[in-house]
A and B are shown apart, each in its own frame.
Chain A
Amino acid sequence: MNRRQFIRDVFLWSAGTTLAIPQFTILPEALAAEKPSALLSIAKGGDYAGLVQRVLAPLGGMGHFVRPGDRVVVKPNIGWDRSPEQAANTHPQVVQAVVRQALEAGAKKVLVFDRTCNEQRRCYANSGIEQAIRELGDSRATIEHIDSRKFVPVQIVKGKSLTQWEIYKDALDCDCYINLPVAKHHGLSRLTLGLKNSMGVIGGNRGSLHHDLGQSLADLATVIKPKLTIIDATRILLNNGPQGGDLKDVRRTDTLIASADPVAADAYATTLFDLPPYAIESTVAAARMGLGEMALDRITVLEG
């Protein structure tokens, strides 16, 4: 290759990249057609590895969501430099069990990541999640630090508050996205649950979303669409959320909630805090946009 050829090649490569912004639109109506009624599963118990299996069983097991050869993203909450018992992050044993289930269902690759609030490495290490993934000893399962090159601008066509935002490519470009939040107290949204957990896959100045948080989260839910939401309520932070730090604020509840319907999962999890689903703005906004079911009487609860 001579210089002239090289320059020509360079122009050729960059010619393909226009300013076009990828659009990811899956109509909620189409999804609603797939799922005639909101199914939700709940399981309780102290053995968290077994608990994951039990909560998924009534929904058809992990095999119902992960097909052999799938590229899977598991998105826990790893936002804070806190230990597992402080209940600010998803429990490492729950993350490990979910990843293991996905691997056993035949996933080609399982990627775990979160855009943290505290320093990334400290969060990954002290949440116990990095270690939990390593312990699996499976090269298909990886936990990665955020690579800022991977945030791509996405049009949010249906968005009311947000119309465009940077979203992490891997969260969009996968076969199965599993949302794995921890349920806990939050000063503005009252609770952080599944929809709020999506903030861990977006770039930009996230703080500005707080000006209209409920609607912003619902808008994001029109493009970030988990096939499965598992809410970790093995222990819940009742105060001083979302990062806590005082064990007096933590209550052990040994509960997992799973649903293919992200709104139903949030709505039901709200009741663990003795609050009604409509107390959470994002749940209300998402239900209004037809993204899922929030009426408890129209959610079929299965015990795993």
Chain B
Amino acid sequence: MHRSGKALTPSGWRKIGQSLFLLLFLVLFVNTDYAGVDELNWAVNLLFRIDPFLALAAMLAAKTVIALMLPALITLGLTLLFGRFFCGWICPMGTLIDASRRLFARANTLLPEPGQRPWKYALLLFLLTAALFGLPLAGYIDPFSLLVRGLTFAVHPGFDHAITSLFTWTYQEAPAWINSLTEPIYALLKRFVLPFSDKVYTLSVLSFLLLLGVLALNFVESRFFCRKVCPLGALLALTARFSLVRLAGGSAECGQCRQCRAVCPMAAIDETRTIAVPECTLCLECMTHCPRSRIHFGFLPIGNGKQGPNLPRRAMLASFAAGALAPLALPTRPHARHAESTLIRPPGALTEQAFLGQCVRCGECMKVCIGNALHATWLEAGLEGIFTPRLIGRIGYCEYNCTLCGQVCPTGAIRPLSKVEKHAVVIGRAHFDKNRCLPYASGTPCIVCEEHCPTPDKAIKFREVEVTNSNGEQVRVRQPYVVDRLCIGCGICEHKCPLEGEAAVLVTSAGQSRHPDQNIRDGY
């Protein structure tokens, strides 16, 4: 800052605010994890619950009021008072975009053109209409969903891997005096920053690239995503038109410097130095840089003609029509009749259509999943199912007594279950591949699946039989089988099966209790 360091500039205050909210977000993010007790009180779902865009999309899809998402009204209420302060001060994606601007800046970065950016409104309208008519896509582009997915699937585990590799190397190769320095650092990182255990995620690279892409749009123009794409920003901009407190002060006659225009990252200030309220994020750069200190907060009359979303009527109709008509194509796909049998949803998930509608693709259930069992779906649930959670038994299993995914789901797409309720929820069912299962295939004793089966009356039981084993000897072995009425589909048998490659006991969504008829829709 060119002013001496005595007093903080207004934009300096904003940066402190942004940093604090980013820190709060990161603390919540890291703590979205098992903490030694069954109930989790604080999680990063707070952030999603104050997101009015996701709230609206989820409620339109569910066609009901979702109580969990009502805190989003607070954001809207504050926006009616202060405009788009949320984008400038609170949104962690906005903060990261600001912080990374220098990384992507180039000498000839285009000075953003002031004026309204109608296309984000078109996107907003399309997404909300589509949500209402049964094509839920809001979570793909919501800034928090993009951010938390990127962090959960790629950044956090990647960081963990790098740090752990470093400290494994020092632990195994370095002399003791080095370890006396490095081990306490590692212990601290393990305790406060890194995930408890190493995790893997499907679609991690894609999620990372999407996050990187949002930040890299700075390369085109500053805050490109916020100004031209973000549907949450669009919703807040629509609300901000009516805000009470707003920045103003410049005028066509105020001077020739145009400093305010040059520093405004949102390009919200036009040639006459009028600040467009829907675009202003209250970052206070103009206030800081105005040589005459003309810019100030004030209560100002609502809107002049220029403040509307300015979306051409034709574009508005097109967005609406696209949102309303696109869902018509969905029932033409085979999985409208036959659900993909490997698509095992978390316990407490609503029936598939309601689940897809309410899931905002935030990735929190996958972050908190203690067994690293939940993974991002690719196309198994259709184009609209990408990034929704599914259990992949070979990678991880659903821990019998754990109920965390339902606790962190911000929209109730996964219902919170008590431990007793969860024990009764069937998410799928195991079956044996007798061609590979050792006691069947080679007469070799093995009971690892039965040993780990968590139901008090085990869902895997044995028949003791006499067989000729691979060595031609007559032996008695115990051959496992699944008792369907006891199996809940947790996947621990598939996860622990000691065979290389694919397990000999496999879980599919057959028998899932959320809609018992789904798997036999086309049956006899």
Task: Report the separation of the CA atoms of residues A213 and B175 in the bound assembly, to the nearest whole angstrom.
Answer: 38
Q: Is A158 located at the chain interface by the 8 A CB criterion?
A: no
Task: Report the separation of the CA atoms of residues A210 and B370 in the bound assembly, to the nearest whole angstrom.
Answer: 26
Chain B residues with a Cβ closer than 8 Å to the other chain, count = 37
Q: How far is the CB of B397 from chain A (nearest CB, A)?
A: 9
Q: How far is the CB of B38 from chain A (nearest CB, A)?
A: 9
User: CB distance A13 to B174 under 8 Å?
Assistant: yes
User: CB distance A240 to B34 under 8 Å?
Assistant: no
Interface pick from B91-99, B268-276, B312-320, B439-447:
B439-447
A119, A205, A249: most-surrounded residue (chain B CB, <10 A): A119
Given that A17-B173, A119-B34, A121-B36 are contacting pairs, would A213 and B448 also be in contact in the complex, using a CB cutoff of 8 Å?
Answer: no
Task: Report the separation of the CA atoms of residues A208 and B499 in the bound assembly, to the nearest whole angstrom.
Answer: 8
Q: Which residues of the other chain, B, contact A210 by a CB distance below 8 angstroms?
A: 445-448, 498
User: CB distance B446 to A121 under 8 Å?
Assistant: no
Residue ID in chain B nearest A14 by CB atoms? B173
Q: Which residues of the other chain, B, contact A10 by a CB distance below 8 angstroms?
A: 173
Task: Report the separation of the CA atoms of residues A245 and B401 in the bound assembly, to the nearest whole angstrom.
Answer: 11
Residue ID in chain B nearest A188 by CB atoms? B447
User: CB distance B399 to A118 under 8 Å?
Assistant: yes
Residue ID in chain A nearest B453 by CB atoms? A243
* Segment 227-249 of A: residues with Cβ below 8 Å from B: 240, 242-246, 249
Q: Which residues of the other chain, B, contact A207 by a CB distance below 8 angstroms?
A: 446, 448, 496-498
Q: How far is the CB of B40 from chain A (nearest CB, A)?
A: 13
Interface pick from B78-86, B120-128, B456-464:
B456-464
Task: Report the separation of the CA atoms of residues A242 and B478 in the bound assembly, to the nearest whole angstrom.
Answer: 16
Residue ID in chain A nearest B371 by CB atoms? A119
Residue ID in chain B nearest A242 by CB atoms? B451
Which single member of B197, B452, B478, B497 contacts A117 (CB below 8 Å)? B452
Q: Is B196 located at the chain interface by the 8 A CB criterion?
A: yes
Q: Which residues of the other chain, A, contact B498 by a CB distance below 8 angstroms?
A: 205-208, 210
Task: Report the separation of the CA atoms of residues A210 and B451 in the bound assembly, to the nearest whole angstrom.
Answer: 11
Given that A13-B175, A119-B34, A205-B498 are contacting pairs, would A211 and B399 also be in contact in the complex, using a CB cutoff of 8 Å?
Answer: no
Q: Which residues of the other chain, B, contact A244 by a CB distance below 8 angstroms?
A: 456
Task: Report the separation of the CA atoms of residues A14 and B169 in the bound assembly, to the nearest whole angstrom.
Answer: 10
Q: How far is the CB of B48 from chain A (nearest CB, A)?
A: 25
User: CB distance A187 to B447 under 8 Å?
Assistant: yes
Q: Is A186 located at the chain interface by the 8 A CB criterion?
A: yes
B167, B171, B174, B401: most-surrounded residue (chain A CB, <10 A): B401
User: CB distance B446 to A245 under 8 Å?
Assistant: no
Q: Which residues of the other chain, A, contact B36 by a CB distance below 8 angstroms?
A: 121, 125
Q: Is A122 located at the chain interface by the 8 A CB criterion?
A: yes
Q: How far is the CB of A293 from chain B (nearest CB, A)?
A: 27
Q: Is B146 located at the chain interface by the 8 A CB criterion?
A: no
* Segment 161-212 of A: residues with Cβ below 8 Å from B: 186-188, 205-208, 210-212
For the residues of B in contact with A, the DSSP-based class is loop
Chain B 30-54, CB within 8 Å of chain A: the 1/0 string? Answer: 0000101100000000000000000
User: CB distance A188 to B445 under 8 Å?
Assistant: yes
User: CB distance A119 to B446 under 8 Å?
Assistant: no
Q: Is B264 located at the chain interface by the 8 A CB criterion?
A: no
User: CB distance B445 to A211 under 8 Å?
Assistant: yes
Q: Which residues of the other chain, B, contact A125 by a CB distance below 8 angstroms?
A: 36-37
User: CB distance B401 to A122 under 8 Å?
Assistant: yes
Q: Is A93 located at the chain interface by the 8 A CB criterion?
A: no
Q: Which residues of the other chain, A, contact B370 by a CB distance below 8 angstroms?
A: 119, 121-122
* Segment 418-450 of B: residues with Cβ below 8 Å from A: 438, 444-448, 450
* Segment 1-18 of A: residues with Cβ below 8 Å from B: 10, 13-14, 17
Chain A residues with a Cβ closer than 8 Å to the other chain, count = 33
User: CB distance B455 to A245 under 8 Å?
Assistant: yes
Chain B 1-42, CB within 8 Å of chain A: the 1/0 string? Answer: 000000000000000000000000000000000101100000
Q: Is B402 located at the chain interface by the 8 A CB criterion?
A: yes
* Segment 137-180 of A: residues with Cβ below 8 Å from B: 145, 149
Given that A17-B172, A207-B496, A211-B445 are contacting pairs, would A188 and B451 also be in contact in the complex, using a CB cutoff of 8 Å?
Answer: yes
Q: Is B168 located at the chain interface by the 8 A CB criterion?
A: yes
Q: Which residues of the other chain, B, contact A114 by a CB distance below 8 angstroms?
A: none
User: CB distance A243 to B34 under 8 Å?
Assistant: no
Task: Report the separation of the CA atoms of residues A248 and B127 in the bound assembly, to the nearest whole angstrom.
Answer: 54
Q: Which residues of the other chain, A, contact B104 by a CB distance below 8 angstroms?
A: none
Q: Is A219 located at the chain interface by the 8 A CB criterion?
A: no
User: CB distance B399 to A213 under 8 Å?
Assistant: no
Q: Is A126 located at the chain interface by the 8 A CB criterion?
A: yes
Q: Which residues of the other chain, A, contact B168 by a CB distance below 8 angstroms?
A: 149
Q: How far is the CB of A113 from chain B (nearest CB, A)?
A: 15
User: CB distance B450 to A187 under 8 Å?
Assistant: yes
Q: Which residues of the other chain, A, contact B173 by a CB distance below 8 angstroms?
A: 10, 13-14, 17
Chain B 391-418, CB within 8 Å of chain A: the 1/0 string? Answer: 0000000011110000000000000000
Chain A 4-45, CB within 8 Å of chain B: the 1/0 string? Answer: 000000100110010000000000000000000000000000
Q: Which residues of the other chain, B, contact A246 by a CB distance below 8 angstroms?
A: 456-457
Residue ID in chain A nearest B461 by CB atoms? A187
Q: Is B454 located at the chain interface by the 8 A CB criterion?
A: yes
**Chain A interface residues toward B at CB < 8 A:** 10, 13-14, 17, 81, 117-122, 125-126, 145, 149, 186-188, 205-208, 210-213, 240, 242-246, 249
**Chain B interface residues toward A at CB < 8 A:** 34, 36-37, 167-168, 171-175, 196-197, 370-371, 399-402, 438, 444-448, 450-452, 454-458, 462, 478, 496-498
Pairs A–B under 8 Å by Cβ, sample size 7: A119-B34, A122-B34, A149-B168, A186-B451, A188-B478, A205-B498, A245-B456
Given contact pairs A122-B402, A242-B451, a sample of 8 additional A-B residue pairs in the complex whose CB atoms are under 8 Å apart: A81-B400, A117-B452, A119-B402, A187-B462, A188-B451, A207-B496, A210-B498, A245-B456
